Amino acid sequence: MNETQSTATNPLLESSVFPAFDRIRAEHVAPAMRQILNELDVELQLLEAHAQPTWTGLVEPLERLGDRLRVTWGIVGHLMGVKNSEELRRAYEEMQPEIVQFFMRLGQSQTVYQALQKLRNSAAWENCDATQQRIVEVLLRDAELSGVGLQGEKKERFNAIQQELAELSTQFSNHVLDATKAFALTLEDPQDVEGLPTSLLHVAAQAAREAGTPDATVESGPWRITLDYPSFMPFMAHSRRRGLRERLYRASITRASSSDLDNAPLIARILQLRQEMAALLGYGSFAELSLASKMAPDVPTVESFLEELRQASLAAAQQDLEDQRQCAAAAGAPEAAGLRHWDLPFWAERQREQQYDFSEEALRPYFPLPRVLDGLFALARHLFGVRIEAADGDVPIWQEDVRFFRIYDERDQEIAAFYLDPYSRPAEKRGGAWMDECVGRSRLLAPSGQSVRRPVAYLICNQTPPVGDQPSLMSFTELRTLFHEFGHGLHHMLTAVEYGMAAGINNVDWDAVELPSQFMENWCYHRETLLGMSAHVETGEPLPDDLYGKLCAARHYRAGSLMLRQLSFGLIDLALHHHHDPHGTESAFDLQRRLAPLTSVLPPLPEDRFLCGFGHIFAGGYAAGYYSYKWAEVLSADAFAAFEEAGVDDPRAVAAVGRRYRETILALGGSRPPMEIFQAFRGREPATTALLRHAGLAA
């Protein structure tokens, strides 16, 4: 079949808001993307030939151009994350250079850039509303960061760097996925699984069956333990076999660091290219370039912020280690005198069980996913006045476990929709959890018969899958993750902005985008919310009050260690992109070891290569921006404090503050600078007080 014939029935070219996931195949990618690129190239030439320095004559055509390519290529990128295959990888890698090339051509168009400048300097500027003006200002800034001011050899070199970075990012991500799939501990001796919770044994037996041992059972094994989070973390916390914990830990910190999956050379090259790109644009470091489009004003501000939190958490983390040593010693453990990295999760969980008389595993039976979703949607209705209804079967899906939901406002008008892909599938789905756009809200791009195109989101988690006839039983960590991604989804879906370029998460400074997600996590500790979404899988009983009390008492447990861990990621990220010489003798791993004493209570192992799996900064959007998690957590904790001040157990007060939160933080999206939006909600600038109080680290 030639490309001309294949585009006639290509599902990637269909105009529906909901992609034909049941029919999209790898062979559709190249023909569809090439047809779109050809059409958009003609449209861009026409725009450049007739560019008018007006909103309708310039910015609206730009929205159409960018949206069509982002939406279709976004479908392909989405499938790379949730339905990865060799065929899809080849198609993606074939088209990626052409996609990057078009985006660079669009971003570096002198004609478009000059027309935007004319619009900003014209009399028509005063007729643009505040959102339109912010969009134009950001378009100008982004064009400058895309190299619009470069000429000749510098421009050619900049574009070559962009292409190579895109390819390296994809390679990095694929290496991590392949390395995760390649490792497994297959256990056959019942003594090797002593102490493991039943939920993990179910997962491990199911993994063994899927890997080719059809007679694997929970009772007799074999049991397959992997580096996938729902397998790795419970094993590290509960396995009594110290040697097996060590093997799993060493595998995790050396993932994607050897043979043909080694990401170390990619890291070195990525850092070199980023530094060179920053220099071409006139910046002293890639971190300075990164912060040019973020809420934080400069590198010293971020460093000072991270140091404030480090000072607040270091002593607590050191005490956490001493407490675990004492716990191990009291149990007569021979390793008590010298705890190693693979001991900390195990003894931390034993200490939690002793100190608070419960474990995370004890909570699982109370949180079957269907009940959790009911509670989450009830909370959204109470806070924000929206109704969420299941609509499974209404649209095509990419995997049988994927759910689909529609969102309605107070007038029962549909305003948004989302897909939920909840379960871990390590053979084809990358780890972690994320929210992404399917399509965004836009009046300009409204389908026929509608006044606005309604936003649609992808919510992706990697929680414990169902086993047998039982639903997925969620750990508290998995529950918080679901709330987190749902918060991102609300930011995308409850926007009131009708200009696509500033609707939802679009145009939001990167270090503010985590505010709505981390805000939602706070409700996991709210009594009425948590008990309302709990129902024991066998008895239907809600979470007992005493267990809820223990959970809340344990909220501050190891807060210093958990804070310090996040800070370590932020500090190494910033140092690599600001202080590190990628051409010097000190490697990225040397720098990691040099910084370790600042944020680690145990020195890293000599072979530690965790950076080889650090996809956030080498294959995602967090390069020189990982600090954003903590930066936004200050905003989110302070935002939740508004509910606490109003009376978090007063339904009317909560609903009133919730509507104000929706009308500002969620509704305004990227239409205004995030500090302005936060102040519109809170009445003042944010402070770290609430974050440190919530973490139990306040002085």
> Which residue from 37, 40, 65 is spatially nearest to 500, judged by alpha carbons?
65
Cα–chain center distance at 223: 30
By CB atoms closer than 10 A (0-12, 13-18, 19+), residue 329 is middle
The encoded tokens of residue 337 equal 């005198």
Task: Write phi, then psi, for 601 (nearest 5 degrees).
Answer: -85, -15
Question: Is 389 strand, coil or helix?
Answer: strand
CB count in 10 Å sphere of residue 586: 12
Look-up of token digits 């010298």:
338
Kindly give, in sequence order, each residue whose CB lies less than 8 Å from that of residue 408, ignoring residues fewer than 6 positions away: 386, 387, 388, 389, 414, 415
How far apart CA 290 and CA 299 sit, in angstroms, is 10
Question: Is 696 strand, coil or helix?
Answer: coil
Catalytic residue among 360, 485, 521, 633: 485
Kindly give, in sequence order, each residue whose CB lies less than 8 Å from that of residue 18, ignoring residues fewer than 6 positions away: 395, 396, 417, 438, 456
3-state secondary structure 532-551: HCCCCCCCCCCCCHHHHHHH
Kindly give, in sequence order, each residue whose CB lies less than 8 Å from that of residue 652, ignoring residues fewer than 6 positions away: none
Question: Is 458 strand, coil or helix?
Answer: strand
How far apart CA 360 and CA 463 sit, in angstroms, is 14
The H-assigned helical ranges of 331-439 are 344-356, 360-363, 369-384
Which element (helix H / strand E) includes 457? strand 456-463
Kindly give, in sequence order, each residue whose CB lies less than 8 Å from that of residue 108, ignoring residues fewer than 6 positions away: 143, 146, 147, 148, 150, 155, 159
Q: Residue 668 half-sphere exposure, CB side, CA atoms within 13 Å? A: 22
The encoded tokens of residue 334 equal 């021979």
Question: Is 403 strand, coil or helix?
Answer: strand
CB 70 within 8 A of CB 78: no
**Residue 153 bears catalytic tag:** no
Active-site residues, by number, are: 485
